[in-house]
Amino acid sequence: MTQTDAADLTARLIRCPSVTPQEGGALVLLEQELSAAGFHCMRADRGGISNLFARWGDKAHPRSFGFNGHTDVVPLGDEAAWTMPPFGAEVKDGVMYGRGATDMKSGVAAFVAAAIDHVRDTPPDGAIVIAITGDEEADAIDGTTALLDHMARAGEQMSVCIVGEPTCPEKMGEMIKIGRRGSMSAWFTVTGVQGHSAYPHRARNPLPAMARLMDRLASHVLDKGTAHFDPSTLAVVTIDTGNPATNVIPAECRGTVNIRFNDSHSGASLTGWLQSEVDAVATEFGVTIDMKVKVSGESFLTPPGALSDLVSDAVEAETGLRPVLSTTGGTSDARFIKDHCPVVEFGLVGQTMHQVDERVEVAQIHQLKRIYARMLGAYFG
């Protein structure tokens, strides 16, 4: 039987201009491919975001292997700096160029192609679920969460799930993700009393208070790392006053920090710590400090075991490398799936994602498809 060409599918997806939140034709294309292979497809659109749910097999079956990914891509940046058409999927010297080539239309194409071939060649005793969102690169409010909400309403289930994000730093097969750090940001507004810089006693300067607060936060050691996570980090990302005058003490100053935290913390515990620091500095300087916090995701871990072994075995069989089990990097939609079922991430080398001239080696797309096919074979075999 003719095999599904993952590289060709990647090229067709790249030619869909699906910059968040535009669907761009990518999910329509995938729905056509999956429906033709016997998958039951349903759109789970929400909030102006397009999402696709597809299942082959009985949803009541106790064994269901899931894949998750996204077809939305980040903006092009300086389009004039691209040396190849950003939505052209042109191949030069065995390398395919285009926005989304690495992150992550090639990953989606590889697992869709592997799933289609698997159900055609060796129909499994179980179900295969494919959940693809158009809202991973933005706020992710109406993306994978909408798909999971749809699954809950429809009685759909994944026993395990693979997220096809790029996970390898330099070599294909060197790393899989078994968890992710949590992420949160905090915005602070320090309010004092404006005045003349020659008469500072008549003002209440918010800048020293902000400087003290930022120093206290940035110099605090959150932890020294845990069994599977590096130490948590806090970065001061901006301090702003917008004051062009040298003879005016401003009334207000704003600052922002971003925290990436491991499993020794939660968003709630860190929010409590931040508030205690805010209260201490506000009292010390006699200013008002307002704080706003957004937790983008909690830290999570899929403990090493059957799922990570299945993925590692497939990767090693195809690449010769035993992948490192890692929790490094930013956030991904695995942070939502971990509440549904065990989840592990594996995908391509991610060196050019979000860059101008984003690109992928065509040979790696085919290799990734073979790795996903091995996972399916091992799981259902």
Give the residue-averaged pLDDT of 113-135: 97
CA distance linking residue 261 with residue 216, whole number of Å: 17
Check pLDDT > 90 for residue 139.
no
**Residues 35 and 133 both lie in one domain:** yes
Q: How many domains does the chain have?
A: 2
Q: Answer yes or no: do 13 and 138 share one domain.
A: yes
> So what's the pLDDT on residue 184?
97
* pLDDT grade for 115, boundaries at 50, 70 and 90: very high
Strand order in the sheet with 91-92: 91-92, 95-97, 359-361
Is the pLDDT at 207 greater than 70, yes or no? yes
Whether 91 and 218 map to the same domain: the answer is no
Residue-averaged pLDDT of the chain: 97
Q: Does 176 map to a domain? A: yes
CATH number at residue 348: 3.40.630.10
Cα torsion through 167, 169, 173, 175, rounded to 10: -60
Residues 45 and 144 in one domain: yes
My answer on whether 271 and 316 are in the same domain is no
Render pLDDT for 210-240 as a digit per residue (tens, 0 to 9).
Answer: 999 999 999 999 999 999 999 999 999 999 9
Q: 189 and 214 share a domain?
A: yes
State the pLDDT at residue 103. 96
In a domain, 322, yes or no: yes
201 within some domain:
yes
Q: Is the pLDDT of residue 179 over 70?
A: yes
pLDDT of 1: 66
Separation CA 190–CA 29 (nearest Å): 50
Mean pLDDT of 148-158: 97
165 is catalytic: no
Q: What is the pLDDT of residues 291-302, one digit of tens each?
A: 999 999 999 999
List pLDDT tens digits, range 310-326.
999 999 999 999 999 99
Within-domain flag for 1:
no
- The one catalytic residue in 103, 136, 142, 298 is 136
Question: Is 162 a member of any domain?
Answer: yes
Last residue in a domain, options 237, 264, 297:
297
Could you tell me which of 329, 45, 294, 280 has the C-alpha nearest to residue 177? 329
203 and 243, same domain (yes or no): yes
Which tokens belong to 96?
């395919």
Residue 307 lies in a domain: yes
Structural domain includes residue 340: yes
Tell which of 273, 297, 321 closes a domain.
Answer: 297
Residue 120: inside a domain: yes
Residues in the chain, overall count: 381
Give backbone dihedrals phi and psi of 11, rounded to 5 degrees, phi first: -60, -45
Give the domain-ending residue among 275, 297, 319: 297
338 and 327 share one domain: yes
Q: Are residues 29 and 160 in the same domain?
A: yes
* Mean pLDDT in residue range 344-371: 97
Same domain? For 142 and 173 the reply is yes
Q: What is the pTM of this model?
A: 0.91
Comparing CA positions, the residue from 17, 44, 21 lying closest to residue 29 is 17
* List 23, 33, 72, 277, catalytic entry: 72
72 in catalytic set: yes
Same domain, 291 and 315: no
Alpha helices (runs of H) in the chain, residue ranges in sequence order: 6-14, 26-36, 105-121, 144-154, 206-219, 267-285, 306-319, 334-337, 362-380
**Nearest CA among 142, 183, 184, 148 for reference residue 163:** 148
Q: Looking at the predicted structure, is the pLDDT value of residue 272 above 90?
A: yes
Do 204 and 249 belong to one domain? yes
* CATH code of residue 236: 3.30.70.360
Quote the domain boundaries for residue 115: 6-180+299-380
